Chains A and B, each alone.
Chain A
């Protein structure tokens, strides 16, 4: 059936909670209100307030208490209301959750999911628009997932909950209601750590994730109709660990690469992917590896004109693709 991106995440949470009594949701406004975006709407009525629990307004304890609950044997799904508010919990995520297994020599694990709506283009300004993935993708012991379609989102939230290690699950908030897609009724799996070729092509490769996948697909269609060139679109789905095999396979096929993300350019995940390609597929390249990313400014401003200037558009992507194709 057709679902929005948001409904698919809710459906995945619902199935995980129905299947496993250990799963509970903990975050600000997740209970009666069903979350400020309504992702958890109806779940408190269905599973009770103990399993869909409103937290105090304090992000560090949302994650810190989730870690303790996971050590006890439950399966917490923590919600950070906006990714921009995750920073007070950074120590608990980076220094505790992600290191718990390593520091105990494998004797303890930390199976928590931290859901966080991220990204901009919705008049969220500096503190409701941030992309946070590059900071957390640097951390060994933490998995970072950012799906782009309802199909992937439903399966990946279930995979994240089933995962024995901490997973940061990033939901592009502009995709919540904008992106719709078919989601099967019957069970299916999407593994963490596996990228997906969303469009096949032989002339160049776009490597991206999240909302930008849809922009990339649109730009690829325009490139095909305007220039007759076929762009392959690789949707990473998981930012860490990266699916290097799928990335390199596509690069070796096309020889030309655009890495695309809304997150800022410098220190972004694009740099890591470019280095991987340079190390492992240099001799296949027909053009320099190019990046198209958010500008290196602190965050997305509120005024429409400024926000518009920040956000990448299909036209920006098409221009870049044409430049790479012409190289």
Chain B
């Protein structure tokens, strides 16, 4: 059931030029916001950052097929592009990076990139990999139970969960897919395969070429997608969303992409990847590729891109400035929210 997706130029799309430009804008925003996080880290202002660079096409293309606030989303820690697409603002992201009191994800309790928003149906995540995939199956199970009890379709929301190919080795990922397969749960299992789990390459992680090939073992389709092509990612996700909303069950989507940075600000990828490999990897940067496509199709000019970049840079500047100036959490709050409080 493994299918190869088409490259950008051959991929038919229902997206309007406005949507195609909007996806580019989100990709560029994610990149600029991500780069700024590294800057403030190297300035010594924040102790840790983790990146989505190289994953923008996969994340934004895929999340663009979701209904924000209706569908349930469980991104892993590289999910910056996902949460921006759903409507989290650059300032909200930077408040998390600076661990400020008003960080909407955790009030500064978690490391950056552990996104959460009840309003956007983004479920709080932890750092051990793969645990969120079990939760995603549980949300799908809850939707299934609710519809079964009602005897009709009262909620056609889908569940979107992401994880790296390294996390796909976790037992929770297997258990979640198995459960989703049994009850045909409306879950999209999205593997962002950048071929490295920190320093461990894919060939030391698994004995198969494609994570998507495992879907056959769970009784649902697995689709390999060019994760550097946002249109392919959008289209593949749209097919999976329709399947899930129609009660046809889960899909395993595997977005092949590159991790353009080290694993995190504490990692050094030159200690395990050759200079040649790191240089070649840059050819798979989704941003210039998609920009060229839009320009070739007459949907974007150099001047448009420059203006967009200037405008987004201002947004990122303002977000970083506001977040840095925001107050830190009150130390007296450290004991709160272990259990529900009366006003919760």
Contacts and interface: CB of A to CB of B under 8 A. Distances in A.
Interface stretch (B14-22, B84-92, B145-153, B264-272): B145-153
A88 B170 CA distance: 12
Given A103-B106, A104-B105, A106-B344, A58 B142 contact: no
B153 to A, nearest CB: 14
Nearest to B123: A71
A281 interface: no
Interface string B171-194: 110011011001000000000000
A91 B133 CA distance: 13
Interface stretch (B107-115, B219-227, B229-237): B107-115
A50 B116 contact: no
B128 interface: yes
Nearest to B143: A72
A48 B147 CA distance: 13
A68 B106 contact: no
B131 A92 contact: yes
A300 to B, nearest CB: 27
Interface stretch (A94-102, A116-124, A197-205, A264-272): A94-102
Contacts of B123: 68, 71, 108
Nearest to B171: A60
A24 B183 CA distance: 16
Which of A56, A88, A102 has most B Cβ within 10 Å? A102
A191 interface: no
A65 interface: yes
A68 B149 contact: no
B340 interface: yes
A141 B123 CA distance: 18
B134 interface: yes
B126 A72 contact: no
B72 interface: yes
A67 interface: yes
A24 B138 CA distance: 12
Contact of A65 (B137, B146, B149): B137
A106 B336 contact: yes
A76 B109 CA distance: 27
A184 interface: no
Contact of A105 (B106, B134, B144, B148): B106
A58 B120 CA distance: 30
Interface string A140-158: 1101000000000000000
B212 interface: no
A175 B143 CA distance: 36
Nearest to B125: A103
A66 interface: yes
Given A56-B179, A64-B175, A71 B135 contact: yes
Contacts of A71: 123, 135, 138-139
A132 interface: no
Interface residues of A, number: 46
Nearest to B157: A72
B176 A105 contact: no
A105 B182 CA distance: 34
Contact of B109 (A60, A91, A105): A105
Contact of A73 (B131, B142, B171, B172): B142
B41 interface: no
A290 interface: no
Contacts of A99: 126
B139 A164 contact: no
Contacts of B134: 60-61, 63-65, 67-68, 92
B339 A141 contact: yes
B68 interface: no
Interface string A18-40: 00010010100000000000000
B138 A101 contact: no
Contacts of A58: 175, 178-179
A181 B107 CA distance: 48
Which of A26, A88, A107 has most B Cβ within 10 Å? A107
A74 interface: yes
A175 to B, nearest CB: 27
B138 A66 contact: yes
Contacts of A73: 142
Interface in A70-95: 70-74, 76, 88, 91-92, 95
A60 B172 contact: yes
Contacts of A103: 106, 109-110, 114, 124, 126
A107 B338 contact: no
A272 B150 CA distance: 47
A48 B172 CA distance: 27
Given A71-B123, A102-B337, A108 B137 contact: no
Contact of B135 (A64, A102, A106, A164): A64
Given A106-B341, A141-B339, 6 more contacts: A64-B135, A68-B123, A72-B72, A92-B131, A99-B126, A103-B126
24 contacts: A21-B149, A48-B149, A51-B149, A53-B145, A58-B175, A60-B175, A64-B138, A64-B176, A65-B141, A65-B176, A67-B134, A68-B138, A68-B139, A68-B141, A74-B146, A76-B138, A92-B131, A104-B105, A105-B107, A105-B109, A106-B337, A106-B340, A108-B116, A141-B339
Interface of B: 72, 103, 105-107, 109-110, 114, 116, 118, 123-124, 126, 128, 131, 134-146, 148-149, 171-172, 175-176, 178-179, 182, 336-341, 344
Give the 6 A-B CB pairs with smallest separation, nearest first: A68-B138, A64-B134, A105-B107, A65-B138, A50-B148, A61-B175
